[in-house]
Amino acid sequence: MIVVLMGSPGAGKGTQACRIADGLGVPHLSTGDMLRQAVAEGTEVGRKADTYMRSGSLVPDGIMLGLIGEVVERPECERGFVLDGFPRSLPQAEGLDRILERHGLAVDVVVLLDIDKEAAVSRILSRLSCACCCAVYNALTHPPPRADGACGRCGALLTSRTDDNRDTVARRFEQYRALTEPTIEYYRSCGRLRTVDAGGSIEEVGRAVSALIAEIGAL
């Protein structure tokens, strides 16, 4: 099954994508995580992406389509995957359809995590991430389980993402409105979009998303 998770910054895409991927037994493909890893490793893609990411701008479509085109061909993606943070623009959505079509595949469902901006910004500003295994916590709603505040999964130090500050967040919302919202309309117009209220707890949203995925899988 191929699932695309969409939603504004702070909607909870990473958290929910991880749960869906675990449930389906398929890879969780987060373009944000891939790019942060590329930046940390100093690869060519990482060097190109770094400036855009720091300012909260989208990395150019050509770079993103190159990255995704390569990843979806990996054997572990044969049974499907969950995309988190991609596509984020109309050219990316159209490019993804072309890439999948070449393999006789298509996106099965696009889940939009719907949340109001104020709640999303508050989530972002209290977010803690593990740069090592990409686990995500939230100082208010999902605190790290260890007394020393380290990552509960791998024990590494948790930090705030460098782009989780007020200025960059404002730019990320602008980009979302200008470039990503038209992508949502693209999926809505072709009947592939399903919306879930993402304002609840991780568990509540997770149950709604799982029910939706089960329903689609049963179609």
Using the minimum distance from each CB to ligand AMP, give the nearer residue, 123 or 146.
Answer: 123
- The distance of closest approach from Cβ of residue 85 to ligand AMP in the complex, given in angstroms and rounded to an integer, is 3
Q: Does 85 engage in binding with ligand AMP (CB under 6 A)?
A: yes
Q: Where are the beta strands (DSSP E) in the chain?
A: 2-7, 28-30, 81-84, 109-114, 127-130, 136-138, 158-159, 193-197
Using the minimum distance from each CB to ligand AMP, give the nearer residue, 131 or 207.
Answer: 131
Catalytic residues: 13, 88, 127, 161, 172
- Among 85, 68, 62, 77, residue whose Cα is nearest residue 163: 85
How far apart (Å, rounded) are the C-alpha atoms in residues 3 and 30?
Answer: 12
Binding mask 90-129 for ligand AMP (x = CB under 6 A): --x-------------------------------------
Phi and psi at 101, nearest 5°, equal -55, -40
Binding mask 136-165 for ligand AMP (x = CB under 6 A): ---------------------------x--
Binding to ligand AMP in span 18-47, by CB under 6 A: 31-32, 35
First CA to last CA across the chain, in angstroms?
12
